[in-house]
Amino acid sequence: MTAEEFLSYFSQDRFIKDLRARSKDGVLTEMSRSLAEDDDIRDPGLLLEMIRRRESLGSTGLGNGVAVPHGRSTAATRTKVVFARSQRGIGFDAVDGQPCHIFFLIVAPYDDQRQEYLPLLGKIVEAVSREKIREKLRAVSSFDEFEAVVREAMGE
């Protein structure tokens, strides 16, 4: 997957440079709301319900300040990703018990014909496994800066 292919799942409208939320559920709500006006999301309420259910099965807080809530839903017609960050950090039941600062919300249709969901999740996990990239993601203040960090993370 090239950086351009990876970045095609993101947009300025789905970039939250500073989350207002102060709780795990608040993060899920705020991030899912950024998808509410998207034509590829049929039912934002159903989408939020799916994300909450998925999270109740086990936290998607990876550790090292990163969380990647994700899931498949009939509310989505195309795979989309929301990026958000929190300078203060938010408790997300991460595996290391530390607050999360970097969030990627991935939503995909149930019928993922193009098989995008898992490779996309894998690329995100791979990118944030490097401390240098996590630090840069925590510092981005614009979508353009975010794109530059992604290109760097993908070796472009």
- pLDDT at position 42: 86
Q: Using only the alpha carbons of the chain, give its radius of gyration.
A: 14
Which ranges of 8-43 would DSSP assign to H, the alpha helix?
24-33
β 66-67/61-63 pair status: antiparallel
- pLDDT at position 122: 93
List the CATH number of the domain containing 19: 3.40.930.10
- Residue in 14, 16, 66, 70 annotated catalytic: 70
Q: Splitting the chain (156 residues) into consecutive groups of 10 residues, what average pLDDT does each group show?
A: 92 95 96 87 89 92 96 90 96 96 94 81 94 97 96 88
What is the number of domains present in the chain? 1
Structural domain span for residue 60 = 3-153
Judge whether 101 counts as a catalytic residue. no
| pTM greater than 0.85 | yes
